């Protein structure tokens, strides 16, 4: 569990660009340190479309992630420079999601929004594959282009249970059933 928490905290740095129109662009390939989305356990960067990153958000400083609403889904890059770039963090090349713009319901002076990234996809442990919650203030908003850019560090490691975990759980269950039947 400690390894998962450390990996999650160190995971992903998203480049975040804010616009004064109540929109925010989120991508992890915009600014250094270019932290990648990677598989916890193997440490390899996610390089396929079986994993997607969802943006979840809510207005205010939120500490309960169940209060967030689902936003846009970001697809992992499978070609181009964001697919082949390796920042040397030990995960190999790739692990970047294609940025997109999340429209926010309001974005007035002094507003704060809380965000979280969640990995979803085939075989992904969606409960463990979440970033920490982070906030952005409306002070980042800009009505002129280019918009201000802020670099934040939400962690995101994708957890996929290994087949051996399921095999051991199955063997343990079978053993319990066998011993229970012998006593009866």
CA gyration radius, the chain: 19
Measured between alpha carbons, how far is 4 from 2 in angstroms, rounded to an integer? 5
Instruction: Give the sheet arrangement for strand 100-103, strand by strand.
Output: 100-103, 23-27, 14-19, 149-152
As for how many domains the chain has, the answer is 1
Print pLDDT tens along the chain (184 aa): 444 433 333 343 344 444 445 677 777 887 777 778 889 888 999 888 889 999 899 989 999 999 999 998 988 888 888 888 898 888 999 888 877 777 777 767 678 888 899 999 988 998 999 988 888 876 555 444 444 444 454 557 788 776 655 566 677 777 777 776 665 5
Range of the domain at 56: 2-183
What is the full DSSP assignment across 151-165?
EE----EE----HHH
User: Of 162, 144, 113, 150, nearest to 14 (Cα)?
Assistant: 150
């Amino acid at each position: 569990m400690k390894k998962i928490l450390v990996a999650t905290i160190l995971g992903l740095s998203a480049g975040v660009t804010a616009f004064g129109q109540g929109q925010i662009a989120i991508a992890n390939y915009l600014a250094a340190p270019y932290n990648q989305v990677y598989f916890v356990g193997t440490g390899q960067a996610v390089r396929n479309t079986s994993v997607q990153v969802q943006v979840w958000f809510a207005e205010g400083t939120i500490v309960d992630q169940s209060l967030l609403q689902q936003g846009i889904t970001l697809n992992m890059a499978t070609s181009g420079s964001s697919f082949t770039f390796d920042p040397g963090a030990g995960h190999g090349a790739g692990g970047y999601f294609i940025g997109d713009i999340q429209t926010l319901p309001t974005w007035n002076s002094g507003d704060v929004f809380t965000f979280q990234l969640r990995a979803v996809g085939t075989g992904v442990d969606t409960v463990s594959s979440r970033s920490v919650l982070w906030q952005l203030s409306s002070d980042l908003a800009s009505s002129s282009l280019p918009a201000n850019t802020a670099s934040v560090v939400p962690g995101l490691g994708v957890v996929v249970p290994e087949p051996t975990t399921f095999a051991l759980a199955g063997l343990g269950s079978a053993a319990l059933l066998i011993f229970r039947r012998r006593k009866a």
